[in-house]
Amino acid sequence: MSGIDWEAAANHWIAQESAETRMPAADLVTEIEAFLARHKICTLATAGNGIVRNTTVEYLYAEGAFWIISEGGQKFRTLQANKNVCLAIHDDDISFATLAGLQVTGTAEVVEPFGEDYAHACELRGLPMERLRTMPFVMNIIKVTPTRFDYVNGTLKERGFSPRQHIDF
């Protein structure tokens, strides 16, 4: 028998946050979008078919979605089986007073190569699609649509808000 109280551990922050000051939703989205604009690297966590992957990738956040270009890899096996993903983006600072990071829960779609959405993603990235056509393999584009942001920023306390914020879409 395990001595771990799994339920208590899982609910720790839920109970603590219930009494803390929430940031207005529009302000939170603005804050998060500014955070995303300062970064371009995230980890993409996927799981499916008995495989778990957490891959470091470059992203572009535009039009409310994350656009990721990838040559391939085992993450595509997991994405074929399970479209639910998680992204993690964070600052390098490890002091909780100034630590900032974002966990993005969402759904992933692998865009049809060289289709309309693919062309649009290339345009957003400033990447000529015709250049991708000449490559010896297909560069895949993953579009992640967020369903939830979990944001941590220690400096929010200075503005009277809980350093832990979240928003569901």
Amino acid 17: pLDDT: 79
Summarize the confidence of residues 95-109 as an average pLDDT: 94
Amino acid 95: pLDDT: 82
Task: Give 113's contacts (C-beta < 8 A, 6+ positions apart).
Answer: 138, 140, 141
CATH number (domain holding residue 73): 2.30.110.10
Q: How many DSSP H helices and E strands does the chain contain?
A: 5, 8
| Dihedral sign from CA coordinates of 134, 136, 138, 141 | negative
The boundaries of the domain holding residue 122 are 23-168
Task: Give 31's contacts (C-beta < 8 A, 6+ positions apart).
Answer: 23, 151, 153, 156, 165
**Residue 164 belongs to a domain:** yes
pLDDT of 30 > 70? The answer is yes
**Residue 94 belongs to a domain:** yes
Total structural domains within the chain: 1
Q: What is the Cα–Cα distance from 22 to 83, expressed in whole angstroms?
A: 30
**Residue 1 belongs to a domain:** no
**Residue 112 belongs to a domain:** yes
Mean pLDDT of the residues in the chain: 95
**Residue 124 belongs to a domain:** yes
**Residue 100 belongs to a domain:** yes
CA 71 to the chain's CA centroid: 19
Q: What is the Cα–Cα distance from 8 to 14, expressed in whole angstroms?
A: 10
